[in-house]
Structure 1
């Protein structure tokens, strides 16, 4: 071996050793991803995709644990109280900041008690109408609400959910009145609008796709800045004159406060690889999650901005927990 080659080999070994020292060989044992919601939702599906892929990549168990309750606060608090070593991670969504808007505070400080790692993706919110109510877009919604004796109502996935907030924002911007009916989840709201018991339901847009395709529901619009890939024929609320209106459910990976920067970088880099994989992207798209990967700084800024936005909207629309 030449001296130059030997020197290069030593440099490579030293660099690898240095990186390993920074992360402590992370991960060298099982990693938990806590999902503070029940199984089957977007956060759970996303966590299980990440867990399966990272387990193959890391050659260590990656266990997804659902710790539902208190609108996501139980699982989040468990992560907040965990050691800051990277072996307990949190897959949260924007319900965290809607909770802040509704309640005025959380049992933890989202900015101080958690370390942002990566923004992962979004799910647009869609407003659907039963065909018998002759509402197909924002213009016809405004006209229906303006009819003498109109008593429009709408169902959402629950009081204080992102879907509830999105509709209250729409009401403010469009100048319409509609009574809110909070369901215990999105599925019951979809079922009642399909059955004609309520004229409108605002839910995660992916839940509306099959019913829009079959003609059983009319989708009035979607909340994202760009059209939803699964329903490209449906215009956004912004396209229909309600600007600004970029109001999607977001998903993010976080850890306890003071997570070592080297661990954050390691997790973020490997999760980026998962999110770029065509198979993973297809699986998530089928579940209604559109990958939108942004770094820790962008995630921290999003949490700050959305916290302020939801607090203000809750005050203006008088959204309060029951």
Structure 2
């Protein structure tokens, strides 16, 4: 009888421990505040989109979701910060320009995304547009190309920085249209837009958000966008593809990434909640107002997006001969 009693006691203890362990393992995520790093200045489209998302996630989780702007080095400082942060509670919202820049520099031994960060979910996509200042007298893509052909090197195009997709698109346009236009890099879209509006550069590649802001001033014209079939964000604007200009056919995007070591369960949970947020019509409409298309998806889908961009932009760098410093 004593042996039976001891066995029952032992089994009871094991069962209690198992239940406690299961309860701990099944503790709801998150258990304390979450940080979303935006590696770009406050006030931009990415910052606005992440703040809308953070507010909704905080309400769903019952925990503060803090937006932390850490601008610098075209977003690379923010990526490096999160890569070194504790996993599961720190994330960074990075554009494809920042990610592609890191991937194309990786061969030189620089920071490698795949080594330090893991994908979580796609936040949004947005077209890239080519705009001209009205002072050029240009009304169409054909006129822009004709002007550049008449005045080689005299027409400038602004980008959000060296090695960004807005830089690459200008180089692709030069190659595909056989024109010589001068690249003027800026530290982000804000300065690029400001200089275009001031007439200090003749043209610029901007996000749909920046293009909308520029269009409202009456000082610019939108010539073409990268979305192959056109975009609801900029209705009536033809795509480069529709105009017969190959290669400029990939939209910009922003994805959420986490430090290496963040579990698949946490990444799936965050992606699941983001999808719930983006299922709300009010949120999707707010993104459209920002010039963005809310996406969502899974960590695996973002990984596929990253790899596709890696192959695409690596090829672009090789074909155009762009040298990244």
1:8 aligns to what? none
- Could you tell me which runs of 5 or more consecutive residues in structure 1 were left unpaired when the two chains were aligned: 1-16
- 1:158 Cα shift? 2.0
Larger displacement relative to structure 2 (52-61 or 259-268): 259-268
In the alignment, the residues of structure 2 paired with residue 274 and residue 149 of structure 1 have an alpha-carbon distance, to the nearest angstrom, of: 49
2:62 aligns to what? 59
**CA displacement, residues 115-158 of structure 1 (integer Å, 9 cap, x when unaligned):** 21111211211111122323233322222222266622212222
2:265 aligns to what? 262
- Three-state SS of the structure 2 residue aligned to 1:43 is helix
1:88 aligns to what? 90
In the alignment, the residues of structure 2 paired with residue 226 and residue 292 of structure 1 have an alpha-carbon distance, to the nearest angstrom, of: 18
- Three-state SS of the structure 2 residue aligned to 1:225 is coil
For the pair shown, which has the larger CA radius of gyration, 1 or 2? 2
Matches within 5 A, 1:153-232: 153-212=156-215, 215-232=218-235
Pick closer, same or farther for the CA change 1:104–1:268 going to 2, 3 Å. closer
Are 1:33 and 2:52 counterparts? no
In the alignment, the residues of structure 1 paired with residue 153 and residue 71 of structure 2 have an alpha-carbon distance, to the nearest angstrom, of: 38
1:10 aligns to what? none
**CA displacement, residues 32-89 of structure 1 (integer Å, 9 cap, x when unaligned):** 11122221222222221111001100111111111222222222122222233x2112
Equivalenced residues, count: 305
**CA displacement, residues 169-202 of structure 1 (integer Å, 9 cap, x when unaligned):** 2222222210111123323333333333322111
1:141 aligns to what? 144
In the alignment, the residues of structure 2 paired with residue 303 and residue 131 of structure 1 have an alpha-carbon distance, to the nearest angstrom, of: 36
In the alignment, the residues of structure 1 paired with residue 259 and residue 238 of structure 2 have an alpha-carbon distance, to the nearest angstrom, of: 39
- 1:233 Cα shift? 1.3
In the alignment, the residues of structure 1 paired with residue 115 and residue 103 of structure 2 have an alpha-carbon distance, to the nearest angstrom, of: 17
* CA RMSD, Structure 1 to Structure 2 (Å): 2.5
TM-score (norm 2): 0.85
In the alignment, the residues of structure 1 paired with residue 27 and residue 63 of structure 2 have an alpha-carbon distance, to the nearest angstrom, of: 15
- Three-state SS of the structure 2 residue aligned to 1:208 is helix
- 1:222 Cα shift? 0.7
Larger displacement relative to structure 2 (119-128 or 92-101): 92-101
In the alignment, the residues of structure 1 paired with residue 118 and residue 200 of structure 2 have an alpha-carbon distance, to the nearest angstrom, of: 44
Question: Does structure 1 retain, via aligned residues, the 8 Å contact 2:96–2:254?
Answer: yes
Question: Does structure 1 retain, via aligned residues, the 8 Å contact 2:125–2:251?
Answer: yes
Pick closer, same or farther for the CA change 1:258–1:133 going to 2, 3 Å. same
Larger displacement relative to structure 2 (160-169 or 188-197): 188-197
In the alignment, the residues of structure 1 paired with residue 151 and residue 323 of structure 2 have an alpha-carbon distance, to the nearest angstrom, of: 29
Pick closer, same or farther for the CA change 1:101–1:174 going to 2, 3 Å. farther
- Three-state SS of the structure 1 residue aligned to 2:113 is coil
- Could you tell me which runs of 5 or more consecutive residues in structure 2 were left unpaired when the two chains were aligned: 1-19
Larger displacement relative to structure 2 (17-26 or 69-78): 17-26
TM-score (norm 1): 0.85
**CA displacement, residues 77-104 of structure 1 (integer Å, 9 cap, x when unaligned):** 22222233x2112211112233236634
Are 1:131 and 2:123 counterparts? no
- 1:241 Cα shift? 0.9
Are 1:112 and 2:115 counterparts? yes
Q: In the alignment, which of 229, 243, 252 is matched to residue 246 of structure 2?
A: 243
Pick closer, same or farther for the CA change 1:242–1:18 going to 2, 3 Å. farther
In the alignment, the residues of structure 2 paired with residue 244 and residue 71 of structure 1 have an alpha-carbon distance, to the nearest angstrom, of: 24
